[in-house]
Structure formats: structure tokens, C-alpha cells
Structure 1
């Protein structure tokens, strides 16, 4: 189905395909290592480092501020069971009403999300780094600690390449940037990364947000184009 715009409601809807890839990590890492790019295209997952490796890196890793999370109580009213309903075909006026209702609920959700973000930051300032858990009738609040971050080049100053291979994931945004600079072709990466599935999602979005998204991708393309001209 093509892209549909409901201008009166300020909403756009369309289907989009999501590619799911399967990569040969070892060969891909060897390829980047042969070009001297491996530390610059890999993100480190702290949890995949061994305990003794984490201890070695504690002094150089960047600590991250935690956040307050709400854990709802499990309730039958919160559980959604999968069912195969025979939904009646919607009439055009029903679709318009549904889109209008979605827009109102989306606006309410965005307002409440901003309020919740402010409350979380306030609670974090009050709690500091203390372990706390507050029980509420509907659930509980507790502090979630985020794992430290470390750059791949910093890791290699203290550990060997095997630790990088085990804990690293390819950052494909960085890969695209180096391809734009002419270090390699996209087809080189395709040798180690294949599409294994394509799922389809339906997106509803406010028109103003779609425009922001478009502007972001246009700036990104201009940035990559400028990179390619500098080589």
C-alpha cells in the first residue's frame, strides 16, 4: 500500500521494510583489521568482557549515570493475549476517526513522557548513587545502573585483540562513513553480511515529525557526500 496522508489530522501512514542481516563476524573483523580500521568501526559491549578484563579497564572506562525505572506489577489487565480476531472491514469515516483518536492519544503520550522524564531526573538527583527501591500500589521504582563505556582504541591499549573480537559489535554508521571516504566499497562488506529476512511494519507518524526525519536524512546524505569529495 502506498503512503497515505491525512492532512486534516496531520498524520501520515506507510509500510516500511526492515532488513535483518546475518554477518560473518570473524571474517568481517579480519577485513577491518587488515585496513587498520577495526578500532574505529566497533562498539564495545561491556557485559561481554570477562570479569578480569573489566577490572583492568575500570580506570579508563567512562562511567554512565543511571536512571530511575518503573516496574509495573504483573496483572491480568496488563497482559495481552494473542488472538486471531476477524475484524470487520473499516469504512473510510471509521479510519478517519481512528487516525484522529491516535493523534490525540499520541499527543497525550508525548506530554506524559516528558513529565515522566522530568520526574525521573529529579528522583535521580535526590537519590544519587544510593540503591533504593520504592514500592507502589501499581509497581515499584528502582535505580538502574548503566554499564560503563569504553572506546575500542582505548581497550586495545590494555587488552589484546581477542577481547575486542569477543566484545565488539560493528557500528554500521561508522562503516558507511569510511566507505564514503573511499577506504572500501559497500560490495566488500556485502561479502560478509547477507540479508536473511525482511519484515514489514506499518508506521503512523505526525507530519511534522516526518519532516524532521526527512531533514535529518538529508543532512546525513550531505555529510557523506562532503566526505566523499574530500578524498
Structure 2
């Protein structure tokens, strides 16, 4: 089976290829710098062509293929439009097994504290526990709240820095891919994995602080 949703010769819908990846579904190379506006336009263009209503009078097989192609297209678009999901997906395509952590959909997994954050995380955990005890006693500590708000700003800043650094790695990946530089590709993949692990942990800290402040 080909990777295109329609036959070049007859224009009819085709069954999705079992080994097609989401980048190929949109005719894209395995690069992470994507024109999101162009991706959206391609998604809606293909969605209109593949919509089941278009095949209401077609054969049962074509109707089924239309549904399967639409489902694939939706999954591909949902993954590629999200910067983190897109990065994780490419790494999986490249055979990288991601470290345990917490996924973007919030599914709980085990996380490790980044070495350079050990002291900050220890102090934060103490503050969070103190806030819980204060709340349990029906009291409030303005200074503790102020400290947690500062921690929230600091971790949000680190999260933004991680996103910026990740985009730099996307560019390095694209260059290595163009140059067929296997060593640089491998190095960049390792850096992306490490950065995603760090970002995942920081995002969880931001969530914990938000929960403490909003409780």
C-alpha cells in the first residue's frame, strides 16, 4: 500500500498504510520545525476530501477506508500541532525509549529530580507540606503564600526556557537530517530526551504549586 490517501491513477480513497507515520500523512519530512498554519490548512483540505459524507454513495469498502483515513488524519494532526507531542512522537519513530515521567495528558508515571534542582525541590516540598498543614488548621500564612508565588514564577520561567531550548534542538535536528550526520542526530536525540525529562518534571512542579495556591 502507498502512503497517499488517494490513488494517483483513479483518485479513489485508499486504505491507510500500516507503517505510515504522521509526518508522511501530511507529506512532511521528519523535522520538528513545522509551519503550523500550513499544517492546519492541509488538515482541513484533507478532512473535507476524506469526510465520510463524501462517500455516502460509495462502496462499503471505500466508506470504511474513509473512516480509517479520517481517524489517522485526526490523530496525526493532534500530535503534530502540539510541540511536545510532536517531539516525543519523532523520538519514538527514531527508536528512542523515553524515560519514565508524566505524560502530556497527565497520566501518572514515576519521575526523577534533575540534579541541579535538588535543593529547590527539597525546599519547595517543605513549603508545600507546610501550606497543607496550615490549610488543615484553617489558617493562612501570607509569607508562605508569597514564597510559593515566587516559586511558581521561577518554575514558569524555567519551563519557558526549556521550550526555547527545545526549539534550538529542533533546528539542530533538521540540519543533521539534511546533512545525513548520524553522529549529530544521535547527540541531538539524547539532548531532546534529557530536555523533555527536565521539562516534564518542572511542569509537574508548576502544577503542584498551582494546586497548593488554589486550594
Higher relative contact order (CA 8 A, sep 6+): 1
Provide the TM-score with structure 2 as the length reference. Answer: 0.25
Q: Which has the higher helix share?
A: 2
